[in-house]
Structures are given as C-alpha cells and as structure tokens.
C-alpha cells in the first residue's frame, strides 16, 4: 500500500517511463521533479495494481500543479477621494494579494487598465508601491519601475509574496495642466506570480476620481499646517480663500498663527502664491506664539467690490484656548478677552489695510467672546451685508448669530443669539426673504437651523432644526446658488456627512429652501478622514468651487459642475 506522498508539481510523466525507476517490488521509485520541487513514492504491491494507482496519483498531482496559483487570490478596493495636482502620489487603487502558501512566491507583473480616464495626457507618471500587510499608503517600497501613462500598462518586478496579506498601491502623479473638469480611473487586469496567473476574486467597478488641487499642504512654505478655509467670489470672478497659517503646529490658539490668502483669477485653474493679510507680529513685546490670529471669515460687497476679512486675535494666555474656560473672559481689554479684528481690500484682494480692532464697538461687555465665523458672508439685494458670527454669552456658553451692515461695512450691528449650545454657522437668504442660519450643534449630531425675518433681532427654529442634516460636530458650508436665466435657486450644503468622525466629505442639494435634501443629489468627494472644514462659492453660472480639509491635503480645491449635482431638473416655483 501507499506509505508516503510528498510535494506537488506539474509536467508529470508516465510512472513507468521515469528515468532511474527500477520496477522491482518494494524498491524506492523516483516519480518526478519540476521547478526545483521533488516528490517520491514508496510502494509495495503487484505491477498490475501499481499502474492504475500511480496514474491516479499522477493525475491528482497534475491537476494540483495546474491550479498552483489557486493558493494566491487578489482583491481590489477603491475608496472615493480626489487625485490632486501638486501631490507626488495619488492612490488610484489598493490591491491585496492573499497568499495561503507557507513559503514566499515572487510577484512578477501587474497589468492595469485606465479605461474611464477622460484624458490620459493629464497623467505624468504611474507607480506601484508595496506596504507589506499594512493597509496605509506609503511610498517607501516601490514595485517595478515608474512608467509613463497609457490606457493599458504592465508593471514588472520581482517581489516575494509573504504568507498572508500583501498590499500594493497604484499611484499617479498629475501634470500641472491637468483639467479640473476631468477624471481618472484604473482597474487591475492581470496578475502574474510564481510563473502563473493569479485570480482577482473581488474588484468593484472603477471609481472615476475627480481631479483637484492640493491648494495647501503640510509644510508648504515652511508652515506646519493650513486650516480653517473660507472661500468667496468677487464681482470680477476672482476666487479668494482665506485660512489659518499655523506656523509651528496644527493646534488652535493660542499659537503662532497668521491669516493667509490665496487668489485665483482663472476659475481655480491656477493660484497665486499665498499672501499674509493679518499678522499681529510681536505686539506688546510678546512673541509671535502669544499673538496668534485665527478663524477668518470673509464677505464681499458686490456693489462696491470691497472685501472684508474678520478674525479673532489672542494676546498672551499661553496654553489657553478662546473657547475654553478663561481663554477669553468678559470685558474688552486686550489680554483678557479675545479681540475681533478686521482687514479690508478695495482692489480685489491685491492690497490690504492694517488690522482694525472692533471689539469695543461690537462685543457686549458681559460676553466672554465675540468672534467671526470662518465662512463667507452674504450681500442681500437691498445692499445689506450679513456676516455669520459666534461667541460665548454671559455664562460662557457658546452661541451663534449674525452681524449686519446697512452702510457697506462702515458700521456693524450684532444680532441676538439664534442658538445657545452651538457656534460656527453660515447664513443664506431664502426665497421669501428670510435669513436661514445653519449652525454647528454641540448638543447632538444634527445641525441646528434657525430663521430670522428682522436681521437677527428675533429667531425661530426651522422645521429641520436638530433633526435632518447630520454632522460629527464640525464646521459646514451652506450656500445659495442662483441659477441663470431666472431658473430660480438651490441651496448647497457641504460637510462630513456622518455622525461618527470627519469623513465622507459630501455636497448635498436642496430644491425647496432646505426642507429636504434628496439622496440622489448627494455628491461624495472624499470618504477619507480629514479635519473636515469646507467652504463653497460659485464659479460662473455652471460650476461651484469648494475648498475643504479632506484626506489628501491640508486644503483641497475642487471645481464641481452643477450637472454633477443633478441640477438638470426644474427648480420648484417656490424656490424661484
């Protein structure tokens, strides 16, 4: 009977035709070898019984060898996120090869298709990287060589696949001229390992990744972190985005932070170098890190063209935060309460005034804090300017409201708190003339929504208040998009669309002034984890721009066609 069978291979010859195989009963017989594998059979039986059994063994070994790569399987995942100009590496897909083998097997080649890519010339280069079993991208270990773009590519290399999960990443680098209206897609078409093909058992349809710009990245121009964007469009069509330049660390005030500005005069295709527009220097002989200024809000007077940027300044109080405890206190004094500051531009953002302190003019003395909201304000049809505002009331609790100007920004009036227990907010004007304030809610993971018909003197809860728009307790952007040719308007809302963390950065659309937000008009931009703050503003009649804190850069810019948001259906008359 059969006593031992060892190893498996392909190319098995007839047992009685093997060289060096004496056919004496009870003798050791060498059955075969291939690709360095050896296997042997010991037997002790009659020749007539031996032949069919050895033939059966040979057939089993042959079938096993033909399916040798069945112990390797592959799966592909494609999380949704953009690919960004200025990023050296943009992940297009993640490939995981699972090996059930006990010894390493060489991966020899991976084939890809870029079908679904709008213009292959947008890509400068393609690369594959290996991260072992770690599911986080890293460019430390390349597989094969960098290759130029083509609709089909094969990247060849020699890398041992270890038992268990082996993770690879296809990455691209975009040309600076890549089109912001175009997309990139990729899929795995073939795998070769150990001299055979590897089956891809799980591959979803390719994600067509939107092209965007890494507007600001960690350590750009020696700045540690860029945060808190607010985007606005001037009457000339110039895009202005203001933000925190956090020079030493990513943390909030108190810290060495200035307000920066980036401008684009071509709809976001190119951007000027950042400009510092608010820097309190070493005021009062204190160092820069005790003169931080943060949380910029921006508003454009569409009649005069003047641009206003507000921010909050802390002096002294190292280690404190204006939203916590005595980081800001009742009163007006510099060094006791955080200060509300303003700079202006009358030449489309090319030059700016020195900072002006509005604290004594606008803040109530018992309040612990008055600060701008880091978003865009609005200009009403009667030339009233409306700027979203936040603070801490006389008991130190957070609140949200607006401040308004009816003389083109010469003077401002602060409204009554719309909601206590929330702060960062943004305002839009509804079709009936009322102003809606959409507010970050500290109580539960739904947005607070209030409406005023008297410029913030009194407020009423909206029908969706604290029960419709979900959030993870984070800033959000609300924007009214007026459509051309008197087609009415829609509301756009952007935030991390989740209640668990700052992921799934999404734009939603309302056709009925915020009563409903249809799921079919949700556009997921980036499902990865970021810091979450977004800001929306129009680009011409057919596009909206967004700057947000996504997973691919400190500040990501994307230009979205209204058609991608489903704005092809008629707008109800109530929203006209």
Last residue of a domain, one of 211, 246, 265: 211
DSSP one-letter string for 461-477: E-TTTTTSSB-SS---E
Q: Let me know: does 424 contact 323? Beta carbons within 8 Å.
A: no
**pTM of the model as a whole:** 0.87
| pLDDT tens digits, one per residue of 195-214 | 899 999 999 999 999 999 99
In a domain, 181, yes or no: yes
Q: What is the mean pLDDT of residues 412-429?
A: 98
pLDDT at residue 572, as a whole number: 58
Question: Do 162 and 201 fall within a single domain?
Answer: yes
pLDDT of residue 55: 40
Residue 68's pLDDT band, with cuts at 50, 70 and 90, is very low
Residue 199 within any structural domain of the chain: yes
Are residues 123 and 32 part of one domain? no
pLDDT reading at 492 higher than 60: yes
Which position among 306, 329, 424, 558 bears the catalytic label?
A: 424
Confidence band (pLDDT; 50, 70, 90) for 44? very low
| pLDDT at residue 241 greater than cutoff 50 | yes
In the predicted model, is pLDDT for residue 18 greater than 70? no
Query: pLDDT over 70 for what percent of the chain?
Result: 86
Whether residue 190 is found in the same domain as residue 107: yes
Do 107 and 199 fall within a single domain?
yes
- What pLDDT does 102 receive? 87
Q: What is the pLDDT of residues 292-319, one digit of tens each?
A: 999 999 999 999 999 999 999 999 999 9
pLDDT at 103: 87
36 found inside a domain: yes
Domain hosting 162: range is 71-211
Residue 452 has pLDDT above 50, yes or no: yes
- What pLDDT does residue 342 have? 99
Does any domain span residue 145? yes
Answer yes or no: do 93 and 203 share one domain. yes
| Among 474, 553, 542, 538, CA closest to 506 | 474
Q: What is the pLDDT of residue 319?
A: 96
203 in any annotated domain:
yes
Domain co-membership, 80 together with 147: yes
The predicted-structure confidence for 515-558, as pLDDT tens digits, reads as follows 999 999 999 999 999 999 999 999 999 999 999 999 999 999 99
CA distance 254 to 244: 13
User: Which of the four pLDDT bands, split at 50, 70 and 90, describes residue 232?
Assistant: very high
Tell me how many domains the chain contains: 2
Nearest in space to 443 (alpha carbons), one of 421, 464, 426: 421
Mean pLDDT computed over 388-403:
98
According to the model, what pLDDT value does residue 487 have? 82
Domain boundary pick from 211, 231, 249: 211
Average pLDDT over residues 124-149: 97
The answer as to whether 518 is a domain residue is no
Three-class secondary structure assignment of 269-293: CCCCCCEEEECCCCHHHCCHHHCCE
User: For 188-202, 389-403, 506-520, 558-572, which range has the lowest pLDDT when averaged over its residues?
Assistant: 558-572
In the residue annotation, 424 being an active-site residue is answered as yes
Q: What pLDDT does residue 304 have?
A: 98
pLDDT bracket for residue 19 (50, 70, 90): very low
User: CA dist 265 to 236, 240, 429, 562, Å?
Assistant: 8, 9, 27, 20
Cα-atom radius of gyration of the chain, to the nearest Å? 32
Please report, rounded to a whole number, the percentage of residues in the chain having pLDDT higher than 90.
84
Cβ distance 376 to 230 under 8 Å? yes
Judgement on whether residues 58 and 84 belong to the same structural domain of the protein: no
Predicted local distance difference test score (pLDDT) of residue 23? 35
- Note the pLDDT of residue 35: 32
| 188 and 82 fall within a common domain | yes
Q: Cis omega before residue 254 (within 30°)? A: yes
- Among residues 161, 191, 211, the one where a domain terminates is 211
Grouping H, G, I as helix, E, B as strand and the rest as coil, residue 195 is coil
């Amino acid at each position: 009977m059969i006593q031992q069978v060892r190893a498996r291979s392909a190319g098995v010859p007839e047992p009685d035709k093997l060289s060096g195989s004496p056919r004496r009963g009870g003798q050791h017989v060498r059955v075969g070898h291939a690709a360095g594998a050896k296997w042997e059979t010991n037997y002790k039986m009659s020749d007539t019984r031996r032949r069919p059994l050895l033939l059966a063994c040979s057939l089993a070994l042959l079938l096993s060898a033909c399916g040798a790569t069945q112990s390797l399987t592959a799966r592909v995942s494609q999380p949704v996120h953009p690919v960004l100009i200025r990023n050296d590496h943009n992940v297009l897909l993640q490939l995981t090869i699972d090996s059930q083998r006990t010894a390493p097997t060489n991966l020899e080649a991976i084939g890809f298709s870029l079908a679904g890519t709008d213009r292959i010339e947008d890509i400068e280069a393609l690369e594959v990287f290996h991260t072992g079993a770690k599911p986080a991208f890293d460019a430390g270990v390349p597989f094969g060589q960098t290759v130029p773009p083509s609709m089909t590519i094969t990247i060849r290399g020699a890398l041992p696949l270890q038992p268990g999960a082996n993770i690879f990443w296809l990455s691209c680098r975009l040309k600076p001229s890549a089109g912001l209206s175009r997309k990139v897609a990729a899929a795995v078409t073939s795998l070769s390992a150990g001299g055979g093909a590897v089956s891809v058992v799980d591959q979803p349809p390719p994600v067509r990744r939107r092209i965007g710009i890494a507007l600001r990245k960690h350590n750009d121009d020696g700045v540690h972190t860029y945060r808190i964007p607010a985007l606005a469009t001037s009457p000339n069509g110039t895009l202005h985005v203001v933000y925190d330049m956090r020079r030493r660390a990513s943390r909030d005030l108190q810290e060495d932070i200035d307000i920066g500005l980036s401008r684009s005069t071509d709809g976001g295709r190119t951007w000027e170098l950042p400009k510092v527009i608010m820097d309190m220097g070493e005021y009062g002989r204190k160092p820069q890190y005790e003169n931080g200024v943060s949380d910029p809000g921006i508003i454009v007077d569409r009649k005069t063209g003047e641009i206003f940027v507000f921010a909050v300044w802390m002096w002294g109080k190292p280690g404190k935060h204006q939203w916590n405890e005595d980081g800001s206190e009742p009163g007006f004094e510099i060094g006791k309460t955080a200060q509300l500051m303003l700079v202006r531009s009358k030449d489309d953002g090319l030059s700016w005034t020195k900072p002006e302190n509005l604290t004594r003019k606008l803040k109530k003395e018992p309040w612990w804090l008055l600060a701008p909201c880091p978003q865009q304000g609005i200009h009403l049809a009667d030339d009233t300017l409306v700027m979203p505002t936040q603070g801490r009331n006389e008991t130190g609790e957070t609140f949200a409201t607006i401040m308004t100007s009816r003389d083109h920004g010469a003077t401002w009036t602060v409204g009554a708190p719309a909601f206590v227990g929330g702060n960062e907010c943004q305002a839009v004007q509804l079709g009936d003339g009322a102003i809606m304030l959409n507010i970050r809610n500290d109580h539960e993971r739904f947005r607070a929504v209030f409406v005023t018909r008297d410029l913030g003197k009194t407020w009423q809860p909206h029908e969706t208040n604290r029960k419709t728009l979900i959030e993870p307790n984070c800033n959000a952007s609300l924007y009214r998009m007026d459509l051309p040719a008197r087609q009415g308007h829609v509301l756009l809302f952007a935030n991390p669309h989740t209640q668990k963390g700052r992921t799934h950065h999404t734009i939603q659309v309302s056709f009925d002034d915020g009563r409903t937000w249809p799921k079919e008009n949700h556009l997921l931009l980036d499902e990865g984890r970021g810091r979450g703050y977004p800001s929306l503003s129009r680009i011409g009649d057919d596009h909206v721009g967004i700057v947000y804190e996504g997973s691919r850069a400190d500040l990501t810019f994307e230009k979205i066609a209204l058609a991608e948001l489903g704005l092809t259906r008629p707008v109800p008359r109530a929203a006209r």
